[in-house]
Amino acid sequence: MPEYLRLRFDEKTRTLNAITFAVMTIFSSGISMYALGLLFQLVLHWSFTASVLLSAAIVLVYTFLGGLTSAIYNEVLQFFLIVLGFAPLAILAVLKAGGWSGMASRIPPVMTHTWSQVRHASENPMGVEAFGLIAGLGFVLSFGYWCTDFLVVQRAMAADSMSAARRTPLIAAFPKMIMPFIVIVPGIAAVALSRMSLGYAIPAKAGGGLDYDQALTTLMAQFYPSGMLGLGLTALMASFMSGMAGNVTAFNTVWTYDLYQGHIRKGAPDSHYLWVGRVTTVAGVTLSVATAYLATHFNNIMDFLQLVFGFVNAPLFATFLLGMFWKRTTGHGAFTGLLAGTAAAAATHGLTLAENKGGWLGTVVHTFPSTMAQNFWIAIFAWSACFLVTILASLASTPKASSELHNLVYGLTDIPHDSGMPWYKRPAPLALAVIAAVVLLNLLFA
Amino acid sequence: MSDLRRPIGIFFSLSGVIVAVTGIASSHRAPLESANVNLHCGIAMLVFGLVMLWLSD
C-alpha cells in the first residue's frame, strides 16, 4: 500500500502512511496477543504476564519460520479449522437455548435484530444511532478495512492472475457473511443461556461488568467434551495466531522496506535487509506485548480495534478513493489530507468522552453513550477531514501529468475484460450475487 | 505450489478419526450436553477430510 502511494503521489505520503500503518499493525497484533494470552490464562491457569509472553514466543517462532506463502497456506487451513471448530458450538448452544425463537424470547429483541433498534442511540446497547452506524461502520470503517488494509489487500495481490485477484475479495465476501453465524450467534446464545439457571454464567471482569471476550471459551467448556474441546481451543488459537503473525509480518515489511530502506539506509545488500527484517520481527513482537496490556483497558477487543482503524484506515480510505478515481489529486493534497484526517481522529478522541475513554485534551465537547459510538464518529470525522483537505490542497497545487498516472488512476488504466470467462468467474455477476445475499440477510435479520 | 486440498484433507481425516475414537472410547460428556459430541463431530470432520482428499489431484 505505501508503495502505491509513492508511485501515485510522492515519497512523503508514502512515509506518512508507512508510519501510521506500522503503528496500527503493532496495535492489531497486540490485540491478538492479548486474546491469545487470555486463552492461555484460562486453559493453563497461568498469570496474564506469563500467558502473554508464551504467546509472544510462539508468534516469534511462527513468523521466523514462515513467509507470506506459508502464512496464506496456514490461513486457509485455519479457516476450515475455525469453521469446523466453532459451527458445532453455535448449533449446540442455540439448540440448548430453545432454538432460535426460544433464544430470542430470553434476550432483548435488539440482540437478534440489526435495523429495528437503531433510530436512536438510546434504543440499543451499542449506543449508536443510524447515521453513525451507516456512515461510520458501514461506509468508512468497512470500506477502509476491506479496501486499504494491507493484510486484506496483500491476499489479493498474491493471486496468480489479474482476474483471480479481482475475484478474491468478492469470493471472500461469501464466507465473511457466514462468519457471524459461528462467531456472533454463540455470543448471543451465551447471554440467553446465562439467564436460564443452567449453572452457566458469563465471567465478570475485574473492574465490574461482564467479560464478553470470554463468552466463547466458557461456552466451549460447557458444550464440548475433552476431544472437541481441544479442537475448539486450537481453532481459537489458530485464529489469534494468524492475526498476529500477519500483522507482525506486515510491520516487518513496512519498516524494513518502506522506512529503513527508503530513508535510513539505501542500497545495502539483500543480506543486510534480511538481518534488519529479523531484528524488526523481534522488535515488533516486543512492542506488541506492550500493546497487549493496553488492550486490557477496553470493554472488549472490538472497541479497541475499531479505535485503531479509525485513526489509520479511515483517512487512508479517503486518500485511496481520491487517488484512484480523481486524477487531479496531488501529492501535497494527499499528504495534507492524511495528516488532517489523523489529526481530526485525535481531536475527536481528545475532545469527546465515552465510558471514561478519550477527553485527554482537557475540554469535553460531547459525551457519547458508548465507546463504539465514539469510534464510529472518530472514523467519520477522520474520513471527512481527509477527504475535504485532500480536495482543497489538491486544487491549490499542481497535479502530475496524465502520462505519469497510467495504471495508477481508474480512468487512465486499461481494465481487462473478462467476457470470454464463464459467469461465475466474472466480477460483475459475483458482485451482484454478493449484494443480493447482503440485502437478503439484512431483511431476514432486520 | 502444492495442492492445498491434500494437507487439509489429511489434517481433518486424522483429527476426525482421533475425535470420533475418543467419542466411542470415553463416556465423558460435556456439562451442558448429553449427546456424544465427539463422535458426531469426529464423523463430520472425517467426511470433510475425505471429500477434500477425493477432490485433490
CB contact (8 A) between residue A200 and residue B37: no
Whether A389 has a pLDDT exceeding 90, the answer reads yes
**Banded model confidence at residue A212, pLDDT cuts 50, 70, 90:** confident
Q: What pLDDT sits at residue A183? A: 84
CB contact (8 A) between residue B37 and residue A226: no
Give the pLDDT mean for A427-441: 92
| SS3 assignment, position A239 | helix
Q: Can you give the pTM of this predicted structure?
A: 0.84
Whether A352 has a pLDDT exceeding 80, the answer reads yes
Residues of chain B neighbouring A77 (CB-CB closer than 8 A): 4, 7-8, 11
Alpha-carbon distance of A91 to B31, in angstroms, equals: 16
Edge to edge, the sheet with strand A366-367 lists A357-358, A352-354, A366-367
Q: What pLDDT sits at residue A67? A: 64
**How far does B42 lie from chain A, in Å, by closest CA?**
8
Q: Which of A31, A63, A41, A61 is nearest to A289 (CA)?
A: A31
**How far does A185 lie from chain B, in Å, by closest CA?**
17
The rounded percent of chain A whose pLDDT value lies above 90 is: 27
pLDDT tens string A285-341: 999 988 888 877 776 777 888 888 899 899 999 999 999 999 999 999 999 999 999
Of B8, B18, B28, the CB nearest to A225: B28
Whether B3 has a pLDDT exceeding 90, the answer reads no
CB contact (8 A) between residue B32 and residue A224: no
**Banded model confidence at residue A9, pLDDT cuts 50, 70, 90:** very high
Judge whether A57 and A36 are in contact, CB under 8 Å. Answer: no
Q: Which residue has the cell 472425517?
A: B46
Whether B52 has a pLDDT exceeding 90, the answer reads yes
Degrees to nearest 5, angle at CA A360 with A358 and A363: 100
Q: What pLDDT sits at residue A341? A: 96
A91 in contact with B at a CB cutoff of 8 Å?
no
Of A73, A76, A225, the CB nearest to B37: A225
Other CB atoms within a 10 A radius of the CB of residue A398 amount to 9
Around A376, how many Cα atoms within 13 Å sit in the side-chain half-sphere?
A: 21
Residues of chain A neighbouring B17 (CB-CB closer than 8 A): none
Give the pLDDT mean for A134-145: 91
Amino acid at A414: D
A88 in contact with B at a CB cutoff of 8 Å?
yes
> Which residues, other chains included, contact A432 with Cβ-Cβ below 8 Å and sequence gap of 6+?
none
Which stretch of A93-97, A183-187, A367-371, A424-428 has the lowest confidence by average pLDDT? A424-428
CATH 1.20.1730.10 assigned to A1-97+159-293: yes
CB contact (8 A) between residue B32 and residue A96: yes
Alpha-carbon distance of A426 to A446, in angstroms, equals: 30
Cα A336 from chain centroid (whole Å): 25
Give the pLDDT mean for A67-83: 79
| SS3 assignment, position A225 | coil
Q: What pLDDT sits at residue A329? A: 93
Stronger pLDDT, A67 or B57, i.e. the higher one: B57
Q: Would you call A140 exposed, middle or buried from its count of C-beta atoms within 10 A (0-12, 13-18, 19+)?
A: buried
pLDDT tens string A223-255: 999 889 888 888 888 878 877 888 888 888 889
Alpha-carbon distance of B21 to A122, in angstroms, equals: 51
The rounded percent of chain A whose pLDDT value lies above 70 is: 98
Of A80, A81, A225, the CB nearest to B30: A225
Give the pLDDT mean for A364-371: 88
Whether A63 has a pLDDT exceeding 80, the answer reads no
Q: What pLDDT sits at residue A330? A: 94
The residue among A76, A80, A91, A95 with the most chain B CBs within 10 A of its CB, best to mutate, is: A80
Stronger pLDDT, A423 or A70, i.e. the higher one: A423
**How far does A216 lie from chain B, in Å, by closest CA?**
14
Which stretch of A162-166, A254-258, A348-352, B12-16 has the lowest confidence by average pLDDT? A162-166
> Which residues, other chains included, contact A242 with Cβ-Cβ below 8 Å and sequence gap of 6+?
A71, A74, A75, A78
Most confident among A118-127, A210-219, A312-321, B31-40 (mean pLDDT): A312-321
Chain B nearest-CA residue for A228 = B38
Whether A69 has a pLDDT exceeding 80, the answer reads no
**Banded model confidence at residue A3, pLDDT cuts 50, 70, 90:** confident
Around B6, how many Cα atoms within 13 Å sit in the side-chain half-sphere?
A: 5
Give the start-to-end residue ranges of the domains of chain A. Answer: 1-97+159-293
Residues of chain A neighbouring B22 (CB-CB closer than 8 A): 225-227
**Banded model confidence at residue B41, pLDDT cuts 50, 70, 90:** very high
Write down the mean pLDDT value for chain A: 87
Q: What pLDDT sits at residue B14? A: 95
Residues shown for chain A: 446
**Banded model confidence at residue A355, pLDDT cuts 50, 70, 90:** confident
CB contact (8 A) between residue B8 and residue A223: no
A224 in contact with B at a CB cutoff of 8 Å?
yes
Alpha-carbon distance of B16 to B12, in angstroms, equals: 6
Q: What pLDDT sits at residue A55? A: 83
CB contact (8 A) between residue B32 and residue A225: no
Q: Rounded to 5 degrees, what are φ and ψ at A191?
A: -65, -45
CB contact (8 A) between residue B41 and residue A84: yes
Element housing A367 (H / E): strand A366-367
Whether B1 has a pLDDT exceeding 70, the answer reads no
Whether A357 has a pLDDT exceeding 70, the answer reads yes
CB contact (8 A) between residue A221 and residue B48: no
Judge whether A54 and A46 are in contact, CB under 8 Å. Answer: yes
Of A198, A200, A228, the CB nearest to B37: A228
Alpha-carbon distance of A380 to A383, in angstroms, equals: 5
pLDDT tens string A21-52: 898 889 888 888 888 888 888 778 888 889 88
